Amino acid sequence: MYSFSQVQTYLKCPLQYKYKYIDEIIPPREESLELILGKSVHQTLEFLYQQVSIFQVPGLDTVVKEFDQKFNSLVANTSFEDDKIWIFKNRWRIYITNHYQRNHPFEWFKVLSTEEFFNFKLPNAHTFRGYIDRLDKNGNTLIINDYKTNKSLPTDEDQMYDEQIILYSYGILQKYGEQFDKVVGKLEYLHFDYIKEVDVSPNALEQVVKKYTDIVDEIEHKKTLFRQGDENAFEPKESSLCRFCPYKEICPLFAHWMGKVSGEELGKESIAAIVDEYVANANKIKELKNHNDQLKKILVEYASKNKFLRLFGKQYQIKIHTRKDFKIVDKDWLKSVLEKLDLLSEALEIDRYKVAKMIKSGKVDLKLLKDIVEESEVVTLRGGERE
Ligand code: SF4
pLDDT band at 350 (very low <50, low <70, confident <90, very high): confident
pLDDT band at 265 (very low <50, low <70, confident <90, very high): low
Q: Say which CATH number the domain at 131 has.
A: 3.90.320.10
End-to-end CA distance of the chain: 38
pLDDT of residue 162: 94
Question: Which is the closest atom of ligand 1 to the Cα of 19?
Answer: 5
In a domain, 387, yes or no: no
Give per-residue pLDDT as tens, 77-102: 888 898 999 999 999 999 999 999 99
The mean pLDDT value for 174-193 works out to 92
Question: Which is the closest atom of ligand 1 to the Cα of 239?
Answer: 2
Is residue 208 lining ligand 1, measured as CB closer than 6 Å?
no
Phi/psi of residue 348, nearest 5 degrees: -75, 135
pLDDT of residue 125: 87
Q: 3-state DSSP call for residue 105?
A: coil
221 and 274 both lie in a single domain = no
223 and 312 both lie in a single domain = no
Find out whether 223 and 234 touch, Cβ atoms under 8 Å: no
> Measured between alpha carbons, how far is 307 from 208 in angstroms, rounded to an integer?
63
Is residue 301 lining ligand 1, measured as CB closer than 6 Å?
no
pLDDT of residue 66: 78
The mean pLDDT value for 285-298 works out to 97
Q: Rounded to the nearest whole angstrom, what is the distance from the C-alpha of residue 250 to the centroid of ligand 1?
A: 9
pLDDT at 329 over 80: yes
The mean pLDDT value for 172-192 works out to 92
Q: Rounded to the nearest whole angstrom, what is the distance from the C-alpha of residue 244 to the centroid of ligand 1?
A: 9
| pTM for this predicted structure | 0.79
In a domain, 181, yes or no: yes
Percentage with pLDDT > 70 across the chain: 98
Is residue 254 lining ligand 1, measured as CB closer than 6 Å?
yes
Give the range of the structural domain holding residue 180, as residue numbers without chain letter. Answer: 2-227
> Measured between alpha carbons, how far is 359 from 375 in angstroms, rounded to an integer?
10
pLDDT of residue 296: 96
User: Could you say which of 227, 251, 278 is where a domain stops?
Assistant: 227
189 and 301 both lie in a single domain = no
The mean pLDDT value for 93-121 works out to 94
pLDDT band at 141 (very low <50, low <70, confident <90, very high): very high
Question: Which is the closest atom of ligand 1 to the Cα of 12?
Answer: 7
Give per-residue pLDDT as tens, 2-30: 999 999 999 999 999 999 999 999 987 77
pLDDT of residue 386: 77
pLDDT band at 52 (very low <50, low <70, confident <90, very high): very high
Orientation of helix 160-176 relative to helix 202-227, angle to 10°: 100
Percentage with pLDDT > 90 across the chain: 68
User: Could you say which of 171, 205, 227 is where a domain stops?
Assistant: 227
87 and 29 both lie in a single domain = yes
Please tell me the least confidently modeled range out of 25-39, 243-257, 259-273, 323-337: 259-273
H/E element, 169: helix 160-176
189 and 302 both lie in a single domain = no
Q: Whose CA is nearest to atom 2 of ligand 1?
A: 242
Of 84, 79, 144, the residue nearest 109 (C-alpha): 144
In a domain, 205, yes or no: yes
pLDDT of residue 333: 93
The mean pLDDT value for 317-333 works out to 91
Q: What DSSP string runs through 308-336?
A: -SEEE-SS-EEE---------S-HHHHHH
pLDDT at 318 over 70: yes
The mean pLDDT value for 254-276 works out to 77
161 and 285 both lie in a single domain = no
Out of 10, 13, 19, 256, mutate this one to test ligand 1's pocket (max ligand atoms within 8 Å of CB): namely 13
Q: Whose CA is nearest to atom 4 of ligand 1?
A: 251
176 and 301 both lie in a single domain = no
Number of domains the chain contains = 2
205 and 291 both lie in a single domain = no
pLDDT at 306 over 70: yes
pLDDT band at 282 (very low <50, low <70, confident <90, very high): very high
In a domain, 273, yes or no: yes
167 and 277 both lie in a single domain = no
Q: Are strands 317-319 and 141-148 parallel, antiparallel or unpaired?
A: unpaired
Q: Rounded to the nearest whole angstrom, what is the distance from the C-alpha of residue 236 to the centroid of ligand 1?
A: 6
The mean pLDDT value for 251-277 works out to 79
pLDDT at 337 over 80: yes
User: Could you say which of 204, 227, 250 is where a domain stops?
Assistant: 227
Question: Which is the closest atom of ligand 1 to the Cα of 241?
Answer: 7
pLDDT at 266 over 70: no
Give per-residue pLDDT as tens, 220-262: 999 999 999 999 999 999 999 999 999 998 999 998 887 666 6
In a domain, 375, yes or no: no
H/E element, 148: strand 141-148
How many Å is the maximal CA-CA distance in the chain? 100
223 and 273 both lie in a single domain = no
In a domain, 245, yes or no: no
Is residue 153 lining ligand 1, measured as CB closer than 6 Å?
no
Region for residue 350 given its phi and psi (left: phi exceeds 0; alpha: psi -120 to 50; beta: otherwise): beta
The mean predicted confidence, pLDDT, of the chain is 91
Is residue 13 lining ligand 1, measured as CB closer than 6 Å?
yes
Is residue 251 lining ligand 1, measured as CB closer than 6 Å?
yes
214 and 147 both lie in a single domain = yes
15 and 147 both lie in a single domain = yes
Q: Are strands 2-3 and 127-138 parallel, antiparallel or unpaired?
A: parallel
Q: What residues contact residue 47 under an 8 Å CB cut-off, 6+ apart?
A: 58, 63, 66
pLDDT of residue 301: 95
pLDDT band at 67 (very low <50, low <70, confident <90, very high): confident
pLDDT of residue 213: 96
Out of 248, 256, 258, mutate this one to test ligand 1's pocket (max ligand atoms within 8 Å of CB): namely 248
